[in-house]
Amino acid sequence: MFDNIALFGCKSTTRFLLENLQIPFKIRHLISISPAQGERHEVADYDDLSELARQHGVTFYQAKQYSLKNETDQDYIRSLGIDMAFVIGWQRLVPADILNSLRIGAFGMHGSAMNLPLGRGRSPMNWSIIEGRQAFYTNLFRYDPGVDSGDIVDTFKFQITPRDTAETMHFKNTLAMKFLIERNIERLANNTFKTFPQDISTTPTYYPKRNPSDSLIDWNQDILFIERFVRAVTRPFNGAFTFVGTHKVVILDAQMFDVSDFGYETLKAGTVAAVFDSGKFLVKCYGGLLLVNAHETGAILKPGAQFHNNGLEIKQFERNRLGYFDVEGDE
């Protein structure tokens, strides 16, 4: 039985698993990063887990480098004599020197709407909403030095609904992670688990990294794309944003109001059509009116206000032959 288990992570998903995993073994070590590193690396939904580790009697180590390529980090982690590790909410590769020091191995999660090896890389849940996908596959896989290329232990599939957001997708994916670990922990600890390789007949594809600046709204897109875009980058991310005058407007929740324009046909796309007493407002878009249910801004929005980019360029991501954003090649 191998039960010296470590957890690598620095996000709320890491916290949830440490607090809620129902397994007959104790997580003994938690490797994380400092709040300063979380800010420097723009880790969405970063969580300082030092106090949680103390409460659970877990040895806590704050890595000197997020990449774990620092010699001090590697020496310390090797000194722990870890049997196996779960890499949850880490968002970085684990160096081969560390992987080779683990008696059984490191196991992480990666998912996509098409299942691996399609959709490796960054932000697959965000991209799945943007693309209008309807299902998501979460994989428990054994880490190797590559990008999401390890052999699969187990898979869980869940639905992407028309109301799912970045937040609810994280909820679902976290529950899928919990379920997969609990279903496989006995075989992992006894080193009797089986893996299967990713489909070598399929050329891997990779989603690109999304940065906060990539959440700028393109009002030249149609209303369905914009509605999905808002859901895809809302909390725990920075939120879709635009500008009115000199003020930034962050749109956190929006929905298609109607394909009818209610007399606002002549308005330019991206124009505020109406503002209601509740503070909610309508925006004219290509294909109908968008109802904004929640937003943050220092501006007073009035009918006729025109949203704009404030001189910023909207990043155009490469698309594959089907029009999606996962492309062949390296991440």
Average confidence (pLDDT) over 139-145 = 96
pLDDT of residue 330: 67
How far is the CA of 8 from the CAs of 15, 28, 179, 255, in angstroms?
11, 11, 18, 37
User: Strands 327-328, 152-159: parallel, antiparallel or unpaired by DSSP?
Assistant: unpaired
C-beta of residue 121 within 8 angstroms of C-beta of residue 207: yes
Average confidence (pLDDT) over 67-94 = 96
Tokens 């330019």 belong to residue: 268
Find the helix or strand (DSSP H, E) in which 142 lies. strand 135-142
Token pair for 132:
């209008």
Spatial separation of the C-alpha atoms in residues 252 and 239, rounded to whole Å: 6
How far is the CA of 284 from the CAs of 73, 91, 159, 301, in angstroms?
53, 37, 30, 14
**5-207 CATH, one of 1.10.3720.10, 3.40.50.720, 3.40.50.170, 3.10.180.10:** 3.40.50.170
Q: What single letter denotes the amino acid at residue 147?
A: V
Average pLDDT of the residues of the chain:
96
C-beta of residue 328 within 8 angstroms of C-beta of residue 205: yes
C-beta of residue 89 within 8 angstroms of C-beta of residue 12: yes
How far is the CA of 240 from the CAs of 63, 73, 121, in angstroms?
32, 36, 22
Token pair for 171:
């909820």
Cis peptide before 35 (omega within 30 of 0): no
pLDDT of residue 224: 98
Token pair for 190:
């006894």
| % pLDDT > 90, the chain | 97
Q: What is the pLDDT of residues 281-309, one digit of tens each?
A: 999 999 999 999 999 999 999 999 999 99
Q: What is the pLDDT of residues 44-74, one digit of tens each?
A: 899 999 999 999 999 999 999 999 999 999 9
Domain assignments of the chain as residue spans, ordered by start:
5-207, 212-297
Q: What is the pLDDT of residues 208-250, one digit of tens each?
A: 999 999 999 999 999 999 999 999 999 999 999 999 999 999 9
pLDDT of residue 329: 79
C-beta of residue 84 within 8 angstroms of C-beta of residue 107: yes
Q: What is the pLDDT of residues 160-219, one digit of tens each?
A: 999 999 999 999 999 999 999 999 999 999 999 999 999 989 999 999 999 999 999 999
CATH 3.40.640.10 fits 212-297, yes or no: no
Task: Name the phi and psi angles at 8, rounded to 5.
Answer: -105, 125
pLDDT of residue 331: 59
